[in-house]
Amino acid sequence: DAGVIQSPRHEVTEMGQEVTLRCKPISGHNSLFWYRQTMMRGLELLIYFNNNVPIDDSGMPEDRFSAKMPNASFSTLKIQPSEPRDSAVYFCASQGHGETQYFGPGTRLLVL
Amino acid sequence: EDQVTQSPEALRLQEGESSSLNCSYTVSGLRGLFWYRQDPGKGPEFLFTLYSAGEEKEKERLKATLTKKESFLHITAPKPEDSATYLCAVQAHSGNTGKLIFGQGTTLQVKP
């Protein structure tokens, strides 16, 4: 299996622009997580889907952030409009029937 | 509030010099404690899951142990390739059972 796939791997954009991050979970996994990692706050959960349904979005910082999971093999995290404080590494992780979450390589986002 | 604290923040060892990393946690009912390894520019890589006090797990030079308040990651005779950031995370029984709460990590450097 290729593992969790994320794209793009790097994104540089200007403040105010829309940013879309993409994730393909491991085939057969039914839970998907979006995390954000910064030096100040470490790894934080943004939102969690189970069977394509959002279960917990309490970590989404504000209305500028939205996430979708239209099917079992694809999810997006959108930031509109982006701000410099959104600069971070965004990770997607997927989980099957056990408790272990497997992480993707991350998307490094820089908002200028 | 569920919380994870890791110490030390950074650790430098000579090759072959054994040591331990600490993860102290406060959680409302532990579902599982997870150890991950993260190399620069990559996503966290799963190492171990521990479920109950007294449990131990080993993998090569790494051994993870768990008590009711903390977990240790023991590194025996480390090699330079063990250099990485080690992350500890807990998952609680209550509320959103999928959510992982991460510590800030311990960055280990092993010098030849």
pLDDT at B29: 87
Q: How far is CA A25 from CA A56, A74, B55, in A?
A: 18, 7, 30
**Minimal-distance CA residue of chain A relative to B31:** A99
Q: Chain A contact for B99, CB < 8 A?
A: yes
Q: Which of B43, B104, B105 sits opposite A105 (nearest CB)?
A: B43
| B19 in Cβ contact with B13 (< 8 Å) | yes
Q: Does the distance separating the beta carbons of A91 and B102 come in below 8 Å?
A: no
pLDDT at B59: 95
Q: Does the distance separating the beta carbons of A56 and B99 come in below 8 Å?
A: yes
Average pLDDT over residues B47-68: 96
CA A102 to chain centre: 13
Closest chain B C-alpha to A18 CA, distance in angstroms: 24
pLDDT tens per residue, range A19-49: 999 999 999 999 999 999 999 999 999 999 9
pLDDT tens per residue, range A69-100: 999 999 999 999 999 999 999 999 999 988 89
Instruction: Give the number of other CB atoms < 10 A from CB of residue B60.
Output: 9
Instruction: Pick A59 or B24 by higher pLDDT.
Output: B24
d(CA B31, CA A95): 15
